[in-house]
Amino acid sequence: MPDYSELARTVAALTEGEDDSVALMATLACEIHHSDERFDWTGFYRVVAPELMKIGPYQGGHGCLVIPFSRGVCGAAARTRQVQIVADVEAFPGHIACAASTRSEIVLPVFDPEGEVIAVLDIDSDRPDAFDAADAEGLAAILAWVFSRR
């Protein structure tokens, strides 16, 4: 598991003064992805229209291009505004299989300073049951600091 406090310090140093959300997402996708060998795919899906997300900056193989709020783990995180931790993606109703290697997933909503969902952070693992509450807490704190503080 990454040292989330150290990762937060690195992200803070790299993103200081930046307010472009795509630049921030690109930097976070890279830093988070390379912080832990469990992370097989790390990326953002950006809200581009009501109830609709499109792929944003990511690390790993190809991702799905479009995800509606009504489908999959990413859609559930955006729709409910809550972190989704899925130990076995095959058991998640409506899971969208963007990569056959994915076994577990964590998806966190990303909020702007007004509290609106602007994206989700999706991390896939090729290992079953790879994520827990400590991951959710550490990642949520980083996302809040980067995207909600402006």
pLDDT tens digit sequence for 51-79: 999 999 999 998 889 999 999 999 999 99
Give the span between the Cα atoms of 63 and 110, in whole angstroms: 18
**Using an 8 Å Cβ cutoff, are 121 and 145 in contact?**
no
4-147 classified as CATH 3.30.450.40: yes
Q: Which residues contact 133 (CB under 8 A, 6 or more apart)?
A: 85
Amino acid 95: pLDDT: 63
Tokens describing residue 132: 């827990």
Give tens-digit pLDDT for 86-97: 998 777 766 666
Torsion sign, CA atoms 145, 21, 120, 9: negative
Amino acid 103: pLDDT: 84
Amino acid 92: pLDDT: 72
Strands, DSSP E only, in the chain?
41-49, 52-59, 66-68, 84-86, 104-111, 117-125
Grade residue 130 by pLDDT with cuts at 50, 70 and 90. very high
Residue with tokens 């803070």, as numbered in its chain: 12
Over residues 125-139, mean pLDDT: 95
